[in-house]
Amino acid sequence: MFCLSKGLAAPVGSLLAGSREFIARARKHRKLFGGGMRQAGILAAAGLVALREMVGRLAEDHANAHRLGELLSEVPGLRVDLARVQTNILLVDFSGTNLSGEAFLAKLQKAGVKAVAFGPTVARFVTHKDVSAADVDEAAARIRKALAE
């Protein structure tokens, strides 16, 4: 199974792949649990756009995440394992800032940068189709400035 909304910019949706027998069992279980949608054509159309047009640009999201990791690894108090940045998800260890997770994320939010906690001293950043290379540079500059204050 893979998700069309993560990285492919569809509003919702996932695909389940398998043998004919597996899919038949999955459909039965979906109905047992109340799953199913009426008029799913609009969502299916968004899924088709995601598969046809967005897959080719995933490398851009991955490159943007890596670039953000490079920039943030230069910020005092932040640590990034660049070898682990292989998708559009970036994990940043901020333990060197001596800030709590709440305080760290509040500084970022005040600077206009969104991230979420991924542990007590790790923040998760995600790049996607609406985040350009220029946005990455801007986010890194804002983070650097916010932590220096």
pLDDT in tens, 50-72: 899 888 889 999 999 999 999 99
Spatial separation of the C-alpha atoms in residues 108 and 138, rounded to whole Å: 12
Q: What average pLDDT does the segment 101-112 reach? A: 97
Same domain flag for 82 and 11: no
Spatial separation of the C-alpha atoms in residues 10 and 42, rounded to whole Å: 11
Tell me how many domains the chain contains.
Answer: 2
Mean pLDDT of the chain: 92
CATH code for the domain in which residue 83 is found: 3.90.1150.10
Same domain flag for 62 and 52: no
Same domain flag for 111 and 140: yes
As a whole number of Å, the CA-based R_g of the chain is 19
Same domain flag for 71 and 144: yes
Helix axis angle for 101-110 and 133-148, nearest 10°, is: 120
Spatial separation of the C-alpha atoms in residues 12 and 31, rounded to whole Å: 19
Contact 28, 73 (CB under 8 A): no
Residue 125 confidence (pLDDT) above 80 = yes
Q: Which of 54, 39, 63 is nearest to 3 (CA)?
A: 54
pLDDT attached to residue 68: 98
pLDDT attached to residue 114: 96
132 phi, psi to nearest 5 deg: -90, 170
Q: Read off the pLDDT of residues 133-148 as tens digits, 9 standing for 90 and up.
A: 999 999 999 999 999 9
50 alpha-carbon distance from chain centroid: 16
Q: Which residue has the higher pLDDT, 8 or 65?
A: 65
Q: What percentage of the chain carries pLDDT values higher than 90?
A: 68
Neighbours of 45 (CB within 10 A): 11
> Where in the sequence is the domain holding 138, given as residue range(s)?
58-148
Residue 31 confidence (pLDDT) above 90 = no
Contact 101, 121 (CB under 8 A): yes
pTM above threshold 0.85 = no
- Find the length of the chain: 149
Q: Which of 118, 77, 80 is nearest to 101 (CA)?
A: 118
